[in-house]
A = this chain, B = another copy of it.
Amino acid sequence: MTSTQMLREIHEQPEVIERLLANADALAQEVAGLARGCRHVLFIARGSSDHAALYGQYVVSTKTGILATSSSPSVMTLYGATMDMSDVLVVAVSQSGETSEIVDAVAWATGCGARTIAITNNEDSRLARHCDVVIPTRAGKELAVPATKTWSSQMTAMLVLAAGLGAESLLKAAADIPAEMARLMDVNVAPMVEALLHSQALMVTSRGFVSATALEVALKLKEACYIAAQGASSADLEHGPLAVVGPEVPVLIVAAHTGPTIPGLIAVAQKAHAAGARVLLLGGSGALADNADIAAAQTHVPEEIAPIVLGVPGQLLTEQLARARGIDPDAPRGLSKVTQTSE
């Protein structure tokens, strides 16, 4: 097997997460100091970082009692909306910290009175310099275009953020992440690679906490395998997109082992089968696996933590499928590492 840069970076993740968590208490205290009295957490991000932000919305909203949502950066950068954000904590997420759109949106939010946190892999970046508090992901340089270790460290940073907002117990659960990620490095995704070898389109679904990982896997499969892989929550699938699923368009479900999302995901698997589609499963419960044609990477970590560790089999699938389709996953077409939105 050729070793790609992407594969090496996938394997670095347990160490990266461990390093980030070692510093978590001190970072959480910085967050706590800044956030006192804030009533709303607003994430600003694009791409993979935006998927980490979606996870952050679930973690913060459900575990800290503070409403957390996302805003499109263009509300601020293109239209320059002026708002009173004096009780808003803005959390900007950017690997490079140099994406102008994100830096500009944060500068705008500061002007509206918001307090600001950067989650970034570059402590010397413009974004880091601009924000009141920085949660550095310290993932090291990422050379492959598809984000892996920078994404999982952004995801883990959401637990640090939530701990700073009052949900300290999350950091205890997070301690299991590195070992579980290491265990999942050996998952056999070859049958899924085989199943998706010639697919032109794919529906990737989950719900709740793990939705972020489904969207991330869909993005990886788009950028490195050129599959029109669409991520959608299982609830949204039933509002239209399910019609696309069929013999030519399989479904990939990403799920935790337990939790309130399982019955809805089983229903989607059954509807996909009824439409003649194959159903692939990353993670999930036994009952969900019974409704899948190919299942891999079951994990018993709690639902809140599962989205982070389930990134690993999604990345392995992407890396292997890209090579099987004759693509160099380190440098897919049309993309570069620091993304500047065209204006």
Chain A interface residues (CB < 8 Å from chain B): 39-40, 42, 46-48, 50, 57-58, 61-63, 65-67, 69-75, 78-85, 87-88, 101, 146, 200-201, 203, 207-208, 211, 219-220, 222-224, 226-228, 230, 233-236, 238-246, 248-249, 259-261, 263-264, 267-268, 271, 274-275, 332-335, 339-343
CA A111 – CA B199 in complex, angstroms? 46
Closest chain-B Cβ to A244's Cβ sits at a distance in Å of: 5
Q: How many copies does the complex hold?
A: 2
Closest chain-B Cβ to A147's Cβ sits at a distance in Å of: 9
CA A248 – CA B83 in complex, angstroms? 43
Closest chain-B Cβ to A207's Cβ sits at a distance in Å of: 6
Q: Which residues of B contact A233 (CB under 8 A)?
A: 72, 74
With A226-B243, A235-B341 given, name 16 new contacts (CB 8 A): A42-B69, A50-B236, A50-B239, A57-B75, A61-B75, A61-B83, A79-B208, A146-B240, A220-B240, A222-B243, A238-B340, A242-B334, A243-B334, A243-B335, A264-B341, A264-B342
Closest chain-B Cβ to A252's Cβ sits at a distance in Å of: 13
What secondary structure prevails in chain A residues at the interface with B?
mixed
Closest chain-B Cβ to A267's Cβ sits at a distance in Å of: 4
Given A62-B79, A241-B222, A42 and B71 touching (CB < 8 A)?
no
Please tell me if the beta carbons of B75 and A335 are within 8 angstroms of each other in the complex: no
Q: Which residues of B contact A74 (CB under 8 A)?
A: 207-208, 233, 235, 261
CA A259 – CA B255 in complex, angstroms? 41
Chain B, residue nearest A87 (CB): B39
Closest chain-B Cβ to A291's Cβ sits at a distance in Å of: 13
CA A47 – CA B243 in complex, angstroms? 13
Please tell me if the beta carbons of A101 and B62 are within 8 angstroms of each other in the complex: no
Given A46-B239, A342-B264, A67 and B88 touching (CB < 8 A)?
yes
Chain B, residue nearest A248 (CB): B200
Please tell me if the beta carbons of B239 and A222 are within 8 angstroms of each other in the complex: no
CA A181 – CA B305 in complex, angstroms? 48
Q: Which residues of B contact A40 (CB under 8 A)?
A: 39-40, 67
CA A274 – CA B271 in complex, angstroms? 38
29 interchain pairs (CB within 8 A)? A39-B84, A46-B236, A47-B240, A48-B240, A57-B71, A57-B75, A61-B79, A61-B81, A61-B83, A62-B75, A69-B69, A72-B211, A72-B233, A73-B235, A74-B233, A74-B235, A79-B208, A101-B235, A146-B240, A219-B240, A220-B240, A223-B240, A223-B243, A228-B228, A238-B335, A238-B340, A243-B333, A264-B343, A274-B334
